[in-house]
Structure 1
Amino acid sequence: MSMAFSIFGIGKNHHDTKNEVVEIPLDQIEPNRYQPRQVFDEEGIQELAATIDAHGLLQPIILREYEPAKYEIIAGERRFRAMKLLQWEKAPAIVEKMNDHETASLALIENLQRSELSSVEEAQAYEKLMDLNHLTQAKLAKGVGKSQSAVANKLRLLKLIVPVQNAILDGLITERHGRALLNLNDDQQRKMLMRIVNEKLNVRQTEDEVARLQGKPLPSEVEAQKEQERLANEENVKVKKPKKRSVKHKPAKKASPAPKIKISDPRIAMNTIKESVKMINDSGLDAELSEQTLKNAYKITIKIPKQK
């Protein structure tokens, strides 16, 4: 709690305080007026009393003397109640010197660090700490080790009408039921609270009824539509895509030989040879061609000079 102490200004002037345990008569002790916990679990108190009776008080309560021989609890009201249940005459205690402001802040912080507070009690404790220490939500959140959004969400519960807050305190409805009623006016909250309790509406049913009152789409139907769209998208993904065939690299085909030219007319052959000789001459060589017609054939002689 050192960070909280520094932020809320607790303990600055009490460096010399000795944690001396003293015995204080129970009838001189009063509960803390700033105690955020409004509902105490009686069964839990009885279990704590049984533990104290069997093993003793392991941790003394913390008090402050606000008037001579009159003490106020700073921390340890559950232990105090358990000792009263056991009919102890005196309580082991550490007496601190604190003013009203410090006492209130420490009592609130000490209880906020426990898990027994309801959401409404937690919100009320935040509001009191902010008022007592003139804090912003951001600085309060830093002091109690919470995010600013978490603190803001809890504080919103205080906008609910008192009967709804009390229903959360008494465990008749949940915090989420309460949040569903935040956008309703006072009369609508009161009527919806009765319906939740009498008809045993769950949170989703409550949200639907609130949306119906406001003429908005029902959250259950919106959620169902989203689920249908999600399933449809999944089905689309599952549609089989054509499988990619693995490409097998076939060995490259050998170049096929040039097609053979069939010449049936010898005159075509003669002309082809003459054209070839002409290309040789055009390239710079002096080739000579002579032809002779024999009885059954043509004789062609080509002379190409050797290079000197």
Structure 2
Amino acid sequence: MAFSLFNFGKSENNDTKQKVVDVKLDQIIPNRYQPRQVFDKDGIRELAQTIDEHGLLQPIVVREYEPAKYEIIAGERRYRAMKLLEWETAPAIIEKMSDHEAASLALVENLQRSQLSSIEEAQAYRRLMDLNHLTQAALAKGMGKSQSFVANKLRLLKLIKPVQTAILDHRITERHGRAMLDLDEKQQRDMLMKVVNNRLTVRQTEDEVAKNLGRPLPSEIAKQKAAARQRELAPIAPSGEPLPPVGTQQSSASAKKKKSRAKRKAKPAKQINDARLALNTIKKSIQLAKDSGFTVTTHEKNDDKSYQLVIEIPKKQ
């Protein structure tokens, strides 16, 4: 994957085995291209406790950038945990790498293994593109991502630094940040204060941004779409009773006649299309979730015996 794309991680002698050696902790420094900017202190303490009880299961990877001086390629959390335990040396594998290779590998290693924030991930993608002179398409292919996924992450870097920092510190979410992308710098600053101070939801933030830009409110648009879909769904509802047009009224007698006709018409359809009716109802609910801002992926199959619908909703939206 990414290793072949960036042309590193290949040994000149494939028969050479990697040796684990003890390196003094005070001779090791973190990698300057480490994408993670915020380390969970509680997580480091828990890792230190695990290492203290069970030992270090996987050595860190370093490179010698100067005589007797080493830079971490992979394993900074383990390095921090060992420092917390006041170890004098760390089990390490020493790789021979150029500055360029070390920087690229550190970025890829963390992108593949760490739960980075969206801002850290975007910054890592940008650094990899700059270091290796890659297009978005080439980077996406090398990382096993879609080009749209990479492009959407990179767009977050257009946010002003205070907004990026708020995402890094978990004061606002990535979706809050995305809602502010069309605002200028001053508007972003003002909106950030409003979101944090008033604890606005993503939808409330989207509405506030729309007000600033003179656009229709997303919440109103969603309501209108939901109402329209409900009107579309009503004719195939189990009761067979369509919703009356907005603003119209029916007499009691007229309503009873229509109700009676609807029941007669709906009965055979209900017997024949129960499964399809259930499937359509589920699809409408899925569309409601999409219009509310959720990412939902569906896979549908059907055969002579049944309909199959697999719904995927990423936990991290």
- Counterparts in 2 of 1:49-128, with a 5 A limit? 49-128=48-127
Alpha-carbon offset, residue 244 of structure 1: 9.8
Alpha-carbon offset, residue 204 of structure 1: 0.2
Quote the Cα distance in structure 2 between the aligned partners of 1:57 and 1:228: 58
What residue is the counterpart of 1:289 in the other structure?
none
- Counterparts in 2 of 1:70-219, with a 5 A limit? 70-219=69-218
Secondary structure of 1:93's partner?
strand
Which has the higher mean CA deviation after the structures are superposed, 36-45 or 11-20? 11-20
Quote the Cα distance in structure 1 between the aligned partners of 2:186 and 2:94: 48
* Amino acid of the structure 1 residue aligned with 2:128: L
Number of residue pairs the alignment of both structures matches: 244
Quote the Cα distance in structure 1 between the aligned partners of 2:186 and 2:265: 64
Match status 1:34 vs 2:33? yes
Q: 1:245 to 1:20 in 2, by over 3 A?
A: closer
Alpha-carbon offset, residue 115 of structure 1: 4.0
Quote the Cα distance in structure 2 between the aligned partners of 1:220 and 1:245: 37
- Counterparts in 2 of 1:145-294, with a 5 A limit? 145-237=144-236, 238-239=240-241, 240=262, 242-243=264-265
Alpha-carbon offset, residue 8 of structure 1: 0.6
Alpha-carbon offset, residue 224 of structure 1: 0.6
User: Which string of whole-angstrom CA distances, capped at 9 and with x for unpartnered residues, describes residues 246-302 of structure 1?
Assistant: 9xxxxxxxxxxxxxxxxxxxxxxxxxxxxxxxxxxxxxxxxxxxxxxxxxxxxxxxx
Secondary structure of 2:21's partner?
strand
* Amino acid of the structure 2 residue aligned with 1:60: P
Quote the Cα distance in structure 2 between the aligned partners of 1:11 and 1:241: 70
* Amino acid of the structure 2 residue aligned with 1:8: F
Match status 1:11 vs 2:9? yes
Secondary structure of 1:206's partner?
helix
Which has the higher mean CA deviation after the structures are superposed, 215-224 or 225-234? 225-234
What residue is the counterpart of 1:265 in the other structure?
none
Q: 1:28 to 1:118 in 2, by over 3 A?
A: same
Secondary structure of 1:233's partner?
helix
Quote the Cα distance in structure 2 between the aligned partners of 1:94 and 1:44: 24
Secondary structure of 2:113's partner?
coil
Alpha-carbon offset, residue 89 of structure 1: 0.1
Alpha-carbon offset, residue 231 of structure 1: 1.4
Quote the Cα distance in structure 2 between the aligned partners of 1:55 and 1:11: 29
Q: 1:75 to 1:210 in 2, by over 3 A?
A: same
Secondary structure of 2:208's partner?
helix
User: Which string of whole-angstrom CA distances, capped at 9 and with x for unpartnered residues, describes residues 48-76 of structure 1?
Assistant: 00000000000000000000000000000
Quote the Cα distance in structure 1 between the aligned partners of 2:104 and 2:267: 74
* Amino acid of the structure 1 residue aligned with 2:19: E
Secondary structure of 1:216's partner?
coil
Alpha-carbon offset, residue 13 of structure 1: 5.2
User: Which string of whole-angstrom CA distances, capped at 9 and with x for unpartnered residues, describes residues 99-141 of structure 1?
Assistant: 0000000000000012420000000000000000011111101
Q: 1:190 to 1:14 in 2, by over 3 A?
A: farther
Q: 1:243 to 1:211 in 2, by over 3 A?
A: closer
Q: 1:101 to 1:244 in 2, by over 3 A?
A: closer
- Provide the identity percentage: 70
Q: 1:85 to 1:222 in 2, by over 3 A?
A: same
What residue is the counterpart of 2:310 in the other structure?
none
Query: Which protein has the bigger helix share?
Result: 2
User: Which string of whole-angstrom CA distances, capped at 9 and with x for unpartnered residues, describes residues 175-201 of structure 1?
Assistant: 000000000000000100000000000
Report if the CA contact (8 A) 1:14-1:97 is conserved: no
* Amino acid of the structure 2 residue aligned with 1:7: L
Please list every run of 5 or more consecutive structure 2 residues that lacks an aligned counterpart in the other structure: 242-261, 269-317
User: Which string of whole-angstrom CA distances, capped at 9 and with x for unpartnered residues, describes residues 144-193 of structure 1?
Assistant: 11111101100000000011000000000000000000000000001000
Alpha-carbon offset, residue 15 of structure 1: 3.3
Quote the Cα distance in structure 2 between the aligned partners of 1:37 and 1:76: 12
Q: 1:55 to 1:241 in 2, by over 3 A?
A: same
Quote the Cα distance in structure 1 between the aligned partners of 2:212 and 2:67: 58
TM-score by length of 2: 0.74
Aligned Cα root-mean-square deviation (Å): 1.6
Q: 1:216 to 1:26 in 2, by over 3 A?
A: same
* Amino acid of the structure 2 residue aligned with 1:131: D
